[in-house]
Amino acid sequence: MSATVTPAPSSAASAKPALPFLPFTRPTVDEETIAGVAEVLRSGQLTTGPQARAFEAKLSEFCGGRPVRVFNSGTCTMEIALRIAGVGPGHEVITTPLSWVATSNVVLEVGAKPVFVDIDPITRNIDLDRVEAAITPATRAIIPVDLGGLPVDRDRLYAIARKHNLRVVEDAAQSFGSYWKGQRIGSIGDFVSFSFHPNKNVTSIEGGALVMNNEREAKLAEQYRLQGVVRTGFDGMEVELVGGKFNLTDVAARVGLGQLPHLEEFNAKRRELARMYFELFDTPALRALGLKLPVADFAQANWHMFQVVLPEEKLTIKRAEVMAEMHAAGIATGIHYPAIHLFALYRRLGWKDGDFPHAEYTGRNTLTIPLFPAMTRADVVRVVEALATILKAHQKS
């Protein structure tokens, strides 16, 4: 017996169709790149080969001719930089507690101790005014993070590093295409680590790159990238150090090669969308909500993310409930990031609530809202209106 279907009320026919779900990020991959990946697949050369070498050459050109090697993530790049710098057991590395946990995990991976320094609540980057007080005889390096693509002050950073003879491993995972005083991030400095994860401004699906200072460091990076192996001639092979399995496939490299020519276009659209957010949030009613916006740097930042900080002291609900209501409205949001030192792993190492109050407040309340090149002004309006409605509905009296 067939089921009986009850017709929907006639009013449903006139209801507005649901808007498509808006992710907080989405990569744009063109048809030429997709076709190029198919060519690589047909070639049979799938692992590290000519596409990876071509990607490295283009990235080196992008970084002013500096040596660049590609890897399967923007995490191993930092670990390898620390190893090249000789950082290991008994050493300390200064970094920020407000980042993806990989930033400090790599310090533990090489056997060293991460030393956290609180953030500047305005830039949300490491507070350089506090760094020197954290330096000890065991300090060997600093890992700054360009949160959301906003560059850390490179002049002050390197002045501190030179004064104390420290290496710098720039966690520039989020700042590919950002600038410092007219110079591209990656074209200056010490080690620079990039990520090409799908949520970054350009992607290689998964992957990363390490910018180095000379060919000696680049050769070491190649050894660490693939089991420490050095090959000579047809059958010569030697292993001099413990490496890993960190190489980038040619399939991934071909995606990266297809993305690079679009970087400026992508970043220009991101800046345009960010300007729209600032414009739409800049009303007396929305300013009264107490929402904290990012630094409006349109000369240097690549606008990898647009992150607002919720005013927890003015709200009757927590961030998770705000996110749930945004999701119900068809809009995805993200959190970037919880304070690292409050994860269980780091609590076991001795950190606790109250150690870094600015990072903790920001980590509890940061909300990443949608920002990616395929968005339209209507999408931005939709996000701002939805967030404003939720915050107004949950204001403390």
Residue 167 DSSP SS3:
strand
Q: Choose, from 200, 245, 292, 318, the residue flagged as catalytic.
A: 200
163 noted as active-site residue: no
Read off the tokens for 165. 């003879």
Can you read off the two tokens belonging to residue 154?
């490179």
User: Pseudo-torsion of CA 28, 29, 31, 36, nearest 10°?
Assistant: 170
Which residue is associated with the tokens 């690589």? 40
Q: What share of the chain is helix, strand, coil (3-state, %, to 5)?
A: 40, 15, 45
- The H or E element spanning position 345 is helix 344-348
Candidates 302, 303, 323; CA nearest to 365 is 323
* Rounded Cα distance, 23 and 387, in Å: 15
Q: In one letter, which amino acid is 5? A: V
What's the CA gap between 204 and 188, in Å, rounded?
23
CB atoms within 10 A of CB 82: 25
State how far the alpha carbon of 352 is from the alpha carbons of 120, 287, 347, 358, in Å.
19, 33, 6, 14
Residue 28's Cβ-count burial label (10 Å; 0-12, 13-18, 19+) is middle
Nearest by Cα to 356 from 113, 114, 78? 114
Distances (CA, A) of 241 to 186, 245, 248, 333, 346: 27, 13, 20, 43, 29
For residue 267, give the H/E element and its range: helix 263-281
User: How many CA atoms, within 13 angstroms, populate the side-chain half-sphere of residue 336?
Assistant: 23
Task: Give the integer Cα–Cα distance in Å for 170 and 151.
Answer: 10
Q: Which residues are catalytic?
A: 200
